[in-house]
Amino acid sequence: MIHHPSVRRFGRAFALGLVLATAVSATGPAASAAPPRHGAPDFGPNVTIFDPSMPVAEIQAALDATHARQVGNEMGTERYAYLFKPGSYGTPEQPLQIKVGYYTEIAGLGASPTDVQINGKIEVYNRCLEDGGTSNCLALVNFWRTLSNLSLTVNAAGQDGCRASANFWAVSQAVSMRRLNVTGGGLSLMDYCTAGPQYASGGFIADSRLPATTNGSQQQWLTRNSEVAGWSNAVWNQVFAGVVGAPDDAGFPDPPYTTLDTTPLSREKPYLFVDGKGRYAVRVPAARRDTRGVSWADGLTPGRTIGIDDFFVARPSDSVRTINSQLARGKHLLLTPGVYDIARSIEVKRPGTVVLGLGHATLTAVNGSVPLDVAGVPGVVVAGVTIDAGLRESPVLLRVGQRHGRNASAADNPTTLSDVFFRVGGPHIGRTNIALEVNSDNVLIDHTWVWRGDHGVEGFTEGVNGDTDRWRTNTGRYGAVINGDHVTATGLFVEHFQRYNTVWNGEYGTTVLYQNELPYDPPTQADWMHGDVEGFAGYKVGDRVRHHTLYGGGVYVFNQNNPSIHTENGFEVPETPGVRLHHVMTVNLSAGTIDHVVNGVGEPADTTRVGAPVYVAEYPVP
């Protein structure tokens, strides 16, 4: 195995065992294009709405310009959403070929994914970090971008032979594909056309019909409630829930597939659409249990429709006082793209309230605030929002329900978090005690990345001293703390926190795919101790819990600041028949040691087996 210095510098785990299978804008130049009937809401200058009557070259130029700005803008403040009204875009002779950079959302505005047809490609390529952008190409830091609610007929006209071989989506965390209908060519979740190492670090697909898909170098991936024509290979941890055409997992861990015939609890993400009369609305899908396949197979996704007039359309310049006043009046909240400085909590108190972000709208804590505080009421939906810690420590970044209070709940209408992402450090110094705290019962977490940044632009020096600075300065103790009962997580990614990354205290919890990297930067073993125990497990189920289920979990170690550090267990759970782990593993990424997978079971993940996972198929062991 070759260790690449730039991979270490950018702080992402690298994949091993690689197997390859045989514009209508408020400020832009298109502002004079035909206006939508009834008038579009004012979504601000960073939302561009395309109409099928617009020339393909004009659309292509607008998207190319944004990609050029965003392809390397990992820690920037720009946010964009590009929305396509129902109709067809691109032709066989002139396909629309889109490349998607940081903090960019591409979405159709149809009621069904088939209402927006794109002939061309929608892609993410590796970032090449050396030799002037020509070598050391990988996808380990390709975060924060979104693609949804459209049909794509893959058309590679004009591309070279390798690029023409697939539609490439080479991404890692905080990236989702939802409500897609892809035909006409294959999909590759890695970019094998650039000058290696081509590593990628995991992602999420839901509610989509996909062609034959090459997983390639993706370390972990969750595909949920979808249809796939085929799936080739896996690296460490590939999970399928309610997926027609999913591979069988009988051979686990070779290959390392985990397959659930149905998804225990699901709710698709809300989406903005334009109806046949040109009116804008948001479709809020209903929660469903034990489902399989896409939600739109038989027509409109089951759920409710909320007219755009029932939303307060916020911009970053709006005060929290104004936002809370609108919420108190009964409005839902739509956050347009940008960075919102939040010095007091946005308070969501009304049952059934929808908070929908466009273009990775970001809430940044100011003066130690809790940026988003959701009351213990049923049916709230928060989607498409990123929450950043600020310089002064926050107790929590997103709280659902009160820790010591009465929380109402509804099993058939769970509060739902979809594509809600957290960041502690990176673009600036960040501090929090807990990132995500769930106190309510009956909550669904549908894809989250809870990240204490292992790299950024905060001004730390590289190497050991810089990592020590990060450990002392960018502080985040706990990633996700789940205190409510009957909480379900589908796609729970939590990384680098300084104590337990995830603590699950509630009863009857279920997780479908868990991915964790332990912190890279503890300076000494003394800094990474839990009493007399060496280190903190990446996934901790509370000692009093009697019922809990995890399907497909991985904990990785890369103690780059001090490779001598040990962590006793990747997973720590109560010894009771009702707490069950299905297909879990630990892996060493070339520094540090995890002594056991779970509760003293499993061999060490140490530097004698770099990149080779240690698996426990079932716990308790049969």
Q: Cα–Cα distances in Å, from 78 out to 46, 67, 382?
A: 9, 12, 21
Q: For residue 4, how many C-alpha atoms fall within 13 Å in the half-sphere facing its CB?
A: 22
Q: Are residues 582 and 258 in contact, defined by beta-carbon separation less than 8 angstroms?
A: yes
Whole-angstrom distance, CA of residue 284 vs CA of residue 301:
9
Residue 401 falls in which region: left (phi positive, over 0), alpha (psi -120 to 50) or beta: left
Does residue 517 have an active-site annotation? yes
β-partners of residue 558 are 591
Peptide bond into 620 cis (omega under 30): yes
Whole-angstrom distance, CA of residue 322 vs CA of residue 312:
10
3-state secondary structure of 68: helix
User: Which listed residue (74, 123, 437, 517) is catalytic?
Assistant: 517
Whole-angstrom distance, CA of residue 471 vs CA of residue 522:
6
Residue 265 tokens, joined: 């609890």
3-state secondary structure of 218: strand
Q: What is the DSSP letter of 449?
A: E
- What angle is formed at CA 548 by the lines to CA 544 and CA 551, rounded to 5 degrees? 145
Whole-angstrom distance, CA of residue 573 vs CA of residue 549:
11
Q: For residue 404, how many C-alpha atoms fall within 13 Å in the half-sphere facing its CB?
A: 0
Nearest CA among 75, 375, 237, 524 for reference residue 223: 237
Handedness of CA 143, 144, 150, 154 (dihedral sign): negative
Q: Are residues 177 and 221 in contact, defined by beta-carbon separation less than 8 angstroms?
A: no
Helix (H), strand (E) at residue 180: strand 175-183
The label of the residue with tokens 């209903």 reads 286
Handedness of CA 69, 217, 140, 189 (dihedral sign): positive
Whole-angstrom distance, CA of residue 507 vs CA of residue 549:
10
Q: Are residues 327 and 353 in contact, defined by beta-carbon separation less than 8 angstroms?
A: yes
Residue 617 tokens, joined: 């198929």
Phi, psi angles (nearest 5°) of residue 465: -65, -40
Whole-angstrom distance, CA of residue 354 vs CA of residue 374:
11
Q: Cα–Cα distances in Å, from 213 out to 149, 185, 301?
A: 19, 10, 25
Would you name the residues annotated as active-site residues?
A: 517
